[in-house]
Amino acid sequence: MSLWLIYLGVALVAATGASVAADLFSEPDVPTTTRTKLIVFAGVAWPVLLVGLLQLICIGGLAKAMSTASGARHLSRSAVTAAVSVATAVSKA
């Protein structure tokens, strides 16, 4: 029972937010039926939008972690190459 109340409560908040956004950002000549459909869609589809947002955050975090790991690996290879170059130069001198 409480999950339904959470769903309906957040649906009400999402619909209210969509209504305010439609009032602030829509053109004056937009039909009322179009605005109403948008508000109802936002109220019904908020779980799908939330899951999509969470997936986007996870993908962004994964991409950042892979980029950081790739940069660290590249840096360590450069350090090894520099150390080998220095050791070779010292041994020849």
Cβ atoms of residues 46 and 11 within 8 Å: yes
pLDDT reported for residue 5: 87
Size of the chain in residues:
93
pLDDT reported for residue 6: 84
Task: Indicate whether this model's pTM tops 0.85.
Answer: no
Both structure tokens of 79:
């350090």
| Percent of the chain predicted with pLDDT > 90 | 0
pLDDT reported for residue 75: 53
**Across 12-40, average pLDDT:** 87
Which tens digits make up the pLDDT trace of 32-62? Answer: 888 888 888 888 888 888 888 889 898 988 8
